Amino acid sequence: MKIHEFSTGINFEITPDKKWISKGFTGDYMNVTLKEIPYKVERAIANQLFAVVEGTTSDQPAVIGRVVRGDIELGEPDWSVVAVVNRGRDDRGRTVSVSRFFLAEGADSLAMIAAWMDHIKRKTRSFPTFNPSNEKRTKPITIPSEVQVSAIEPNLEAKVVLNEPKTAIFKPDENWTLSGINAYANYKAETENQPVCWAFNVEALEKPWKFILIQVASVAAFTRIQGIIANRRFRAASNIDEAQLQSAIKRLMNHREAPDAVQVIADYLDIDQEYWDELFDNQGAFNAIRQKIYAPNYVRLLTLRAIVIPDTLPKFLTWIEGAKLSNQRNQNIYLNFQFSLFYHFTTVQDSKLKIKLAEGIKVILPNLIRQNITANAVAQLLTEESSIWSSCLNKLVQDIKADLDLICQYGQSTSEALLKCPSEIWENLINYWIDITAENNPSEDVSPENAEGVLSENGLPENGLSENVHSEDGLSEDAPSKNTISELEIYKPLAELFKKLEEYKLSAYFYQVSEGIVPKDVFQAAFSNDTDARETDLFGLLLQRQITMDEKIIDFLRKKKKRIESRIKFIFPKLLYASILICGGMLGGMLIEDRYNILDATPKQPEQVVHHREDPPTTPPLEDVPDSILTIAKDSFETTRKSIQGIVSDFESNLDKQNEIVPKISKAMTGNEGLLHAGVILNDDEAKNQNFEKERNKWIQAIYNCQKNQLKFANPDGKIDSVDGVTANAIKLAVYEFHETQKVIPQLIKEIEDKEKGIKASDVLNQLRTKIGNNRLSYGGGVIVGERNNQTQDLKKLQKLQLEWVAAIKSYQAKKKDEDKLKQEPNGMLKKNDATYKLLKQELEQELSPS
């Protein structure tokens, strides 16, 4: 075996007494017997894994042995390295610490190097130490044959120390040999599956926690090192090139063009946060935040940290606001740095970076609603052109919408696991969901009459004259109770944020949630199609626009229009006459014109509050089915027929009465009860009828049009393949008149809630669910209230949830019929004031009544 070596590079001179004096470092190594020093060995040195603390070397050299792992993938072998650190003098009279490194390939070679060094010591009374006059040495050392590695087993006492899961420290003892140290370290390394690393005769090491065994040079050193290790995590086996990471961070802090530094950061994005925290704190991140240090290099450091450790983003946002105020230059530094980082990052690990950035945004949301950070700061982060986080905006909006959609569908049963944003931000929304929706969805009660403001005789709006007119302070009298409001006010920062982000629909949603009303500008920006709109649905929530004083006056005028118009007709000529007389032609004319315009500005159409809840679909004239589709649909018609039969028999098992169902299906699909022929479906012999083909094609045409226009299929096919498909379910729901049930349920809840004081809408709904036998019935998301997503996939899910209601009502009816409490046949329907409705209402009131 051969041992290579290299030493700290110095310029030197030899004194007459044969000692060397340093004349300065060369910045390189000398006496190198290898072509190139192995990269990993160089990195280990850079990571101070062979470094003793300055000022602690004694006349007796410190010896440090370590296995440096290579890289199997790159074909780099492991190296066994022993460094001998001793001190000399320089030409200025200073102590200089220098090192001589011995290394041999393979992890097993450390024992042999130790044995060889012990051998030299036995012969010369000293370990081989730094010797610059070996300058000409270029060949490795050949180990004499008499040097052998002998097996050394730690004694029991030593094993107790070695078996502890931390660095083993041994006190000074003359009997120690390097072979002994190495054997002990080897024992511990094997037990803990770590590379061997030990230090011998040291006073202080730069990183003692990165050793598994240390033999100290003095008792004082024992206490000192023990103290340091006690406060540090044992990291002997870490393979993170900490020095490289520190350098990369420093380089980016100092704003040197650094694509390679960005690459290093990107490579390590996955390492645990604790490690990153330590690295950034080493550079002063902690102090910079705490002491509000707004220097440019800290702007860069903390920006980088906010990217790499998303948890730090909220604090960073507060800090950077201060930094910008402190010095305008910081704003540019902050943005320019992000821009250059983003540019370099996109060339390396874009996906990992995106995850980190998105995580940061998610961390921000809870802090935003807790008002730890301002909506303005978050908006800037997401919109500033150079902001690296601006790439997260779309995803954030999507995620928020997805969550709101989910909450809308499942309300209080929303599964946390399915939420995309941190569930804590939705906690209040979910808890109060029923209160918000039920109380905020007065459903059919909204009528033009009571939505209008009423003016008192003196021409001013009277307070509280209408349930749906909101006072100027932005609170609706119809809004949730005060307690609920205070819990929901937390969403106001989200409303403000999305307003700034120009995501007006979301802004409107959160204004509705937090304030019970949507400011007019936000509402109109969100739903710009109709400037007169005052309400609309979004994610199961009825959004109500703030009504201004002007509008109230106009509403009043509309209502009283006829009376006023007649008065105007009477007054107008007199006014005109008087005006001309008093003010003269032009002026008088303008005044009259203005006055008249106020009244004339009211719309010509019949007055009504524009209400954007989805109207029942209107049926356009039936389109012809393209030939190619018609041909296939004809071939599959038998399947379609069976499916429709299934739907019919599901509704009505009595064959005699099944004929009555077909007109309902016909109406649901075509808007015309009599358009579709029942026999084509129900009569197996109908195919022989001469009109069969014509009637069948009408069915296909009806199905095709229903799929295309009502269900918005991308590829309508005019077929019904199963009794559970979207088309079949749509027909079922139509036959069960589910649109009626949808209207009636919120009314039922509201009626009971209004009657039974102190009962919340959510309680009523839950009791209703229990009563009709299914506690998991979904309420929002368009199932009963709200709007659904347009995706077909969601439609299918929605239908399924709606049919669950139908089934529950049907089984309730059957049960009550059995109990003789209901005479009505079970039909799965709930209609205002029908027998089922009355019974259900009565039973719910009994259950919920405090007495």
* DSSP type of residue 418: G
Cβ proximity to other proteins: between 280 and 432 the closer is 280
Q: Does 91 bind other proteins (CB under 8 A)?
A: yes
Which among 827, 598, 617 has a CA at the least distance from the CA of 707?
617
Cβ proximity to other proteins: between 43 and 667 the closer is 43
User: What's the distance, CA 735 to chain centroid?
Assistant: 41
Residues 479-538 contacting other proteins, CB under 8 A:
none
Cβ proximity to other proteins: between 261 and 407 the closer is 261
Cβ proximity to other proteins: between 243 and 591 the closer is 243
Cβ proximity to other proteins: between 258 and 801 the closer is 258
User: Which amino acid, one-letter code, is at 104?
Assistant: A
User: What's the distance, CA 430 to chain centroid?
Assistant: 17
Which among 342, 370, 591, 549 has a CA at the least distance from the CA of 459?
549
From 21-29, 155-163, 313-321, 520-528, give the range in contact with other proteins by CB under 8 A.
Answer: 21-29
**Binder to other proteins among 137, 207, 255, 613 (CB under 8 A)?**
255
Rounded least distance, CB 204 to other proteins, Å: 9
State the Cα angle at 192 between 186 and 193, rounded to 5°.
80
Rounded least distance, CB 297 to other proteins, Å: 5
**Binder to other proteins among 3, 63, 82, 96 (CB under 8 A)?**
96
Residues 6+ apart with CB under 8 A from 552: 453, 455, 461, 469
Q: Does 55 bind other proteins (CB under 8 A)?
A: yes
Rounded least distance, CB 13 to other proteins, Å: 12
Structure tokens at 647: 């739907």
Total of chain residues touching other proteins, rule CB under 8 A = 48
Q: Could you give the CA distance from residue 310 to residue 361 in angstroms, rounded to a whole number?
A: 8
Rounded least distance, CB 40 to other proteins, Å: 16
**Binder to other proteins among 75, 93, 621, 850 (CB under 8 A)?**
93
Q: Could you give the CA distance from residue 545 to residue 534 in angstroms, rounded to a whole number?
A: 5
Cβ proximity to other proteins: between 36 and 820 the closer is 36
Which among 105, 32, 28, 123 has a CA at the least distance from the CA of 69?
105
Contact by Cβ (8 Å): 373, 364: yes
**Binder to other proteins among 2, 19, 92, 821 (CB under 8 A)?**
92
Which among 270, 258, 266, 260 has a CA at the least distance from the CA of 350?
266
Rounded least distance, CB 373 to other proteins, Å: 19
Rounded least distance, CB 787 to other proteins, Å: 46
Q: For the chain, give the longest Cα–Cα distance.
A: 133
Q: Across the strands, what pairs with 538? A: 541
* DSSP type of residue 710: I
Cβ proximity to other proteins: between 287 and 486 the closer is 287
**Binder to other proteins among 179, 283, 340, 512 (CB under 8 A)?**
283
**Binder to other proteins among 18, 35, 125, 256 (CB under 8 A)?**
256
Cβ proximity to other proteins: between 260 and 695 the closer is 260
Rounded least distance, CB 240 to other proteins, Å: 16
Residues 6+ apart with CB under 8 A from 11: 22, 23, 24, 25, 26
Q: Could you give the CA distance from residue 547 to residue 609 in angstroms, rounded to a whole number?
A: 12
Cβ proximity to other proteins: between 20 and 187 the closer is 20
Contact by Cβ (8 Å): 182, 198: yes
**Binder to other proteins among 287, 456, 566, 770 (CB under 8 A)?**
287
**Binder to other proteins among 77, 140, 284, 474 (CB under 8 A)?**
284
Cβ proximity to other proteins: between 264 and 783 the closer is 264
- Start-to-end C-alpha separation, the chain: 96
**Binder to other proteins among 30, 34, 37, 46 (CB under 8 A)?**
46
593 phi and psi angles, rounded to 5 deg: -60, -45
Q: Does 16 bind other proteins (CB under 8 A)?
A: no
Cβ proximity to other proteins: between 244 and 824 the closer is 244
Contact by Cβ (8 Å): 357, 391: yes
Cβ proximity to other proteins: between 28 and 424 the closer is 28
Contact by Cβ (8 Å): 200, 63: yes
Q: Could you give the CA distance from residue 695 to residue 679 in angstroms, rounded to a whole number?
A: 9
Q: Does 27 bind other proteins (CB under 8 A)?
A: yes
Phi-psi region of 452 (alpha: psi -120 to 50; beta: other; left: phi over 0): beta
Structure tokens at 816: 């009550």
Q: Does 336 bind other proteins (CB under 8 A)?
A: no
Count Cβ neighbours within 10 Å for each residue of 174-190 and write b for 16 or more, e otherwise.
eeebbbbbbbbbbbbbe
State the Cα angle at 176 between 170 and 182, rounded to 5°.
80
Q: Does 569 bind other proteins (CB under 8 A)?
A: no
Rounded least distance, CB 380 to other proteins, Å: 21
Rounded least distance, CB 434 to other proteins, Å: 43
**Binder to other proteins among 133, 150, 223, 254 (CB under 8 A)?**
254
Side-chain half-sphere exposure of 685, counting CA atoms within 13 A: 0
Count, residues in the chain: 851
Q: Could you give the CA distance from residue 142 to residue 4 in angstroms, rounded to a whole number?
A: 9
Q: Could you give the CA distance from residue 691 to residue 681 in angstroms, rounded to a whole number?
A: 13
**Binder to other proteins among 2, 13, 15, 26 (CB under 8 A)?**
26
Residues 6+ apart with CB under 8 A from 685: none
Strands 197-202, 213-216: pairing is parallel
Cβ proximity to other proteins: between 299 and 494 the closer is 299
Cβ proximity to other proteins: between 99 and 544 the closer is 99
Q: Across the strands, what pairs with 541? A: 538
Rounded least distance, CB 298 to other proteins, Å: 8
Cβ proximity to other proteins: between 328 and 618 the closer is 328
From 22-30, 495-503, 603-611, 767-775, give the range in contact with other proteins by CB under 8 A.
Answer: 22-30
Q: Does 282 bind other proteins (CB under 8 A)?
A: yes
Q: Mark residues 289-328: x for contact with other proteins by CB under 8 A, - for none.
A: --xxxxxxxx-----------------------x--xxx-
Q: Provide the 10 A C-beta neighbour count for residue 576.
A: 15
Q: Provide the 10 A C-beta neighbour count for residue 614.
A: 10
Q: Does 61 bind other proteins (CB under 8 A)?
A: no
Where are any strands of DSSP class E within 141-299?
Answer: 141-142, 168-170, 197-202, 213-216
Cβ proximity to other proteins: between 283 and 813 the closer is 283
Q: Is 655 helix (H, G, I), strand (E, B) or coil?
A: helix
Q: Does 347 bind other proteins (CB under 8 A)?
A: no
Structure tokens at 794: 């969601």
Which among 204, 206, 207 has a CA at the least distance from the CA of 216?
204
Rounded least distance, CB 325 to other proteins, Å: 8
Rounded least distance, CB 28 to other proteins, Å: 7
Q: Does 288 bind other proteins (CB under 8 A)?
A: yes
Rounded least distance, CB 94 to other proteins, Å: 5
Cβ proximity to other proteins: between 277 and 834 the closer is 277
Cβ proximity to other proteins: between 27 and 75 the closer is 27
From 85-93, 184-192, 406-414, 757-765, give the range in contact with other proteins by CB under 8 A.
Answer: 85-93
Q: Mark residues 213-252: x for contact with other proteins by CB under 8 A, - for none.
A: ------------------------------x--xxx-xx-
**Which residues bind to other proteins, rule: CB under 8 A?**
8, 11, 22, 24-28, 46, 54-55, 90-97, 243, 246-248, 250-251, 253-256, 261, 281-284, 287-288, 291-298, 322, 325-327
